[in-house]
Structure 1
Amino acid sequence: MSSELSMRRGFIKKAAIIAGGALIISPLAFAKSLLNSEEKEEEVSPNEDLMREHGVLRRIILIYREAVHRVREKQDLDPALITKSANLIRHFIEDYHEKLEENFLFPRFEKAGQLTDLVTALKNQHRTGRKLTNHIMEIAASKNFKSHGKDFVNIISQFICMYEPHAAREDTVLFPALQKIVPESEYKEMGEKFENEEHKLFGKSGFNGIVSQVADIEKALNIYELSKFTPA
């Protein structure tokens, strides 16, 4: 009886140790699964990445519209805010976003013989956009900014008139067609390359840091609150 009791006690002890280990491991495993789930949720597809960058472009267009309104109405306008906006266009839209399109998207469509006329038009507009940004920067940096009001309004209007349909056509035609011409594995790899390039150029804050800079300009112009755009 003593030997049998000893064996039972040993079995119970081992079972308790195993159960205890399970209680320790399970929460850790559960937490790890949550982290993995969160990491997966943070993944952004190439199309979503490009389209949210268009959101930055559109918000700067709203800044430009406000600037044009103020110049036309002879209201105060700090040209430094235009310089900041143009710098965001130059570094985030032209040197990053458009380079992604030129290096990763356009060549694939050209190779596939798909949407080639659209790609040609988009590439031409990229070149034109950079020239317009140069002019905007030059006027904003001028000591006599107010004297260039007419030219400023004209150039900003050209920028807006070109980029609104440009972004809309990419969002509704080019980007949706991308997944049809590249394999799923390549599409996913493209998204990772986009993310790496974003953090390489703009640091850990990446896209969110850019949005924060845009918001600061909007606040300075008193156009940050979305409700201001609601008709009375």
Structure 2
Amino acid sequence: MDRGNRLRRTFLRSAGALGAGLLVGASASIAAQHAGGRKEVKEEPDISPAEDLMREHGVLNRVLLVYDESARRLESKEEMPMDVLASAAGLLRRFIEEYHEKLEEEHLFPRFVQAGKLVELVSVLRSQHEAGRRLTDEVRRLTASKEADRVRLVTVLRQFVRMYRPHEAREDTVLFPAFRTIVTKDEYEALGEVFEDREHALFGEHGFEDTVADVARMEQALGIYDLAIFTPRLP
């Protein structure tokens, strides 16, 4: 069996195992709720809008690692399972571009423009969202091709990573902290509920956790899941 087939089988086996685990977890939760009140179901802690957006940036960062590794393999002409890269681009489209960025565009950007604060930054961030979607379209097109243009694919992956690393860093260190200064406490807390409701409506009750698990399976398929491999060997 060649390496590509082994990677794909590992990817699919991991997906099946996770699905089984989720079913077991769900069954246990239901059993606890119907055990005569003996078990108290723990409520999820409240998450602020900024924390919610920043942990979603964590998901984005892990997908950027998948993109980095994919580009490295393509450049060095190593085996590259295109289905894993296609899954990464699909997750970016669903979770980042159609959900996370839409929250920013609908609830953050207009408030900054109305307040007359960080208007130039907001304009650049919005244009980068649009550029990112075009790049994602290109990644999905190329990974769907049986004879993918590897040189072009590497260029697109590198462009995406190069843009989004400073993009998310600027949001985390400038935009999100400033957001607290242009809304009231009540408005800020209400937005936390809006974000949570949107997430549950689109991805289910455990949408964030399921998305993190999806990224982990991609990392495992590419051999980059073990965090220790990123530790440099010092003399």
TM-score > 0.5, shorter chain as reference: yes
Of 95, 118, 122, the match for 1:119? 122
Q: Which aligned segments of 4 or more residues in structure 1 are displaced greater than 6 angstroms? A: none
1:101 aligns with 2:111: no
- Please point out which of 42, 45, 51 is paired with 1:42: 45
- Match in the other structure for 1:166: 167
Larger Cα-atom Rg = 1
1:9-40 deviations in Å (ceiling 9; x for gaps): xxxxxxxxxxxxxxxxxxxxxxx9xx79x53x
- Report the structure, 1 or 2, having the larger helix content: 1
Q: Is there any run of 5+ residues in structure 2 with no aligned partner, and where?
A: 1-36
Q: Deviations over 1:27-86 (max 9, x none)?
A: xxxxx9xx79x53x6110000000000000000000000001101111000100011000
Report the Cα distance in structure 2 between the residues aligned to 1:55 and 1:172, rounded to whole angstroms.
Answer: 14
| Counterpart for residue 69 of structure 1 | 72
Question: What is aligned with 1:151?
Answer: 152
Do structure 1's residue 184 and structure 2's residue 194 form an aligned pair?
A: no
Q: CA deviation at 1:104?
A: 0.3
1:138 aligns to 2:137 (yes or no): no
Q: Which amino acid aligns with 1:102?
A: E
Among 49, 54, 59, the residue aligned to 1:51: 54
Paired residues in the alignment total: 195
For 2:219 and 2:85, locate their aligned partners in 1 and report how far apart those are by CA, in whole Å. 11
Describe the superposition over 1:86-105 as per-residue Cα deviations: whole angstroms up to 9, x where unpaired.
00100000000000000000
Distance 1:134 1:77 in 2: 19
Q: For residue 220 of structure 1, what is the amino acid of its counterpart?
A: A
Shift of 1:205: 1.5
Note the residue ranges of structure 1 that are not aligned, 5 or more in a row.
1-31
Matched, 1:81 2:84: yes
Taking structure 1 as the reference length, the TM-score comes to: 0.82
**Higher relative contact order at CA 8 Å, sep ≥6: structure 1 or structure 2?**
2
Deviation at 1:149, TM superposition (A): 1.1
- What's 2:199 paired with? 198
Identity %: 50
1:223 paired with 2:224, answer yes
TM-score, structure 2 as length reference: 0.81
Question: What is the deviation of 1:206?
Answer: 1.0
Secondary structure of 1:42's aligned partner = coil
Whole-Å separation in 2 of the counterparts to 1:68 and 1:131 = 18
In structure 2, distance between residues paired with 1:104 and 1:83 = 30
